[in-house]
Amino acid sequence: MSDSYKYVDPDYIYTDPKTGILRNLAGLTDPDALLFFESGAVTKRIQELYENPIKIKGIESLFEIHKYLFQDVYAWAGEKRKVEISKADKQFFPTTHFENAFRYIDSLISDFKKIPKKNRERIAEKLAEILDIVNYLHPFREGNGRTQREFLRLLALEKDLILNLNPPDNKNIYDQYMRGTINSDVKTLTKLILELID
């Protein structure tokens, strides 16, 4: 079983057919150079969102966050993917049914907003549920993990809580996060979020 991502993109919507590299605004054709450029650009934008957070209104805010984070890197930042994606032989949500998923996620966000701020356990459960569904949706060609972690951070912030699902150099947290998202394990994600919210 392969752990790598697979994309159904016969028309090369996102990649250069010669290099296989994602088309990018910097015109980079070396994968390591693109990784370095993307990492630096997105880290800078995440820092800006700490200073000027986006208020989460619904699923459209997820797209707003992606556009903000990747605006310096990809022309399609903030746009829903047009290709099918799978990982470890599991397909992510099919693009043909995105609108149904968007409505469902909006309902989860609405439920989240009704939870009292002091009910941390319920907040953690709902955040884990939202994370699980957004991860399965995987609405972008690239940058899903960073966008969904920022989305959850901003949702928690609306309850006056600090949540960092991506602390530097903490392999244990990253491993729990990956295990929870890959296996759609909401209990693991709930436990992790409950431990991290401050």
Total count of domains within the chain: 1
Band of residue 161 on the pLDDT scale cut at 50, 70, 90: very high
For residue 1, the model assigns a pLDDT of 36
CB crowding 41-54: b at 16 or more within 10 Å, else e: bbeebbeebeeeee
Listing DSSP states for 58-118 in one string gives SHHHHHHHHHHHHTTT-TTTTS--SSEEEETTEE---GGGHHHHHHHHHHHHHHHHHS-TT
* pLDDT more than 90, % of the chain: 90
The CATH number of the domain where 167 resides is what? Answer: 1.10.3290.10
Model confidence pLDDT, tens digit, residues 4-55: 899 999 999 999 999 999 999 999 999 999 999 999 999 999 999 999 999 9
Asked whether the beta carbons of 146 and 42 are under 8 A apart, the reply is yes
Q: How far is CA 47 from CA 10, 40, 41, 74, 82, in A?
A: 36, 11, 10, 19, 29
| In the predicted structure, residue 2 carries a pLDDT above the cut 70 | no
Q: Tokens standing for 108?
A: 């989860």
Number of C-beta neighbours around residue 39 at 10 A = 12
Rounded Cα distance, 151 and 93, in Å: 19
| In the predicted structure, residue 111 carries a pLDDT above the cut 70 | yes
- In which domain, by residue range, is 89 found? 5-196
Q: Is the pTM of this model over 0.85?
A: yes
- Residues with Cβ within 8 Å of 137's Cβ and at least 6 positions away in sequence, in order, are 92, 93, 98, 101, 105
Q: Is 145 left (phi over 0), alpha (psi -120 to 50) or beta?
A: alpha
For residue 3, the model assigns a pLDDT of 60
| In the predicted structure, residue 89 carries a pLDDT above the cut 90 | no
